[in-house]
Amino acid sequence: MRDLLAKGENLPTLPAAVFQLHKVLDNEMAGPAQVAAVIERDPALTGRLLRAANSAAFNRGDRIGSVAAAVGRLGVDQIRAICLVLAVVKAFPNRSGSLDHSLFWLHSAAVGMMTEHLWGRFGSTPGVSGADLYTAGLLHDVGLLILEQYFQRDFHEARHEQMESGRRLWQCEEEHLGMDHGAVGGLLLGRWTLPAYISETVTNHHHPDQAEPEYREISRIVNAAEVICTEQGAALLDEGGADATSEEVLAELGCPPEETAAILDQVPTMVERAREFLN
Ligand SMILES: [Fe+2]
Ligand SMILES: [Fe+2]
pLDDT tens-place string over residues 71-81 = 888 787 778 77
**How far is the C-alpha of 181 from the C-alpha of 212, rounded, in Å?**
18
3: left (phi over 0), alpha (psi -120 to 50) or beta: alpha
Identify the CA nearest to 150 among candidates 4, 7, 3, 15. 4
- The rounded Å distance from CA 72 to ligand 2 centre is 31
pLDDT band at 206 (very low <50, low <70, confident <90, very high): very high
Predicted TM-score (pTM) above 0.95: no
The average confidence (pLDDT) of the chain is: 85
- The rounded Å distance from CA 52 to ligand 1 centre is 24
Closest ligand, as measured to the CA of 111: 2
Identify the CA nearest to 34 among candidates 50, 53, 128, 26. 26
pLDDT (average), residues 5-29: 69
Please state, in angstroms and as integers, the Cα–Cα distance from residue 99 to each residue in 162, 263, 272, following that order: 15, 28, 21
- The rounded Å distance from CA 240 to ligand 1 centre is 5
CB burial class (10 A; 0-12, 13-18, 19+) of residue 43? Answer: exposed
Share of the chain above pLDDT 90, in %: 32
pLDDT over 70 at 26, yes or no: no
pLDDT band at 105 (very low <50, low <70, confident <90, very high): confident
The predicted structure's pLDDT at residue 250 = 95
pLDDT band at 9 (very low <50, low <70, confident <90, very high): low
Q: Report phi then psi at 31, rounded to 5.
A: -105, 175
pLDDT band at 15 (very low <50, low <70, confident <90, very high): low
Q: Which residues surround ligand 1, an ion (CB under 5 A)?
A: 141, 239
Identify the CA nearest to 192 among candidates 136, 234, 239. 136
- The rounded Å distance from CA 188 to ligand 2 centre is 16
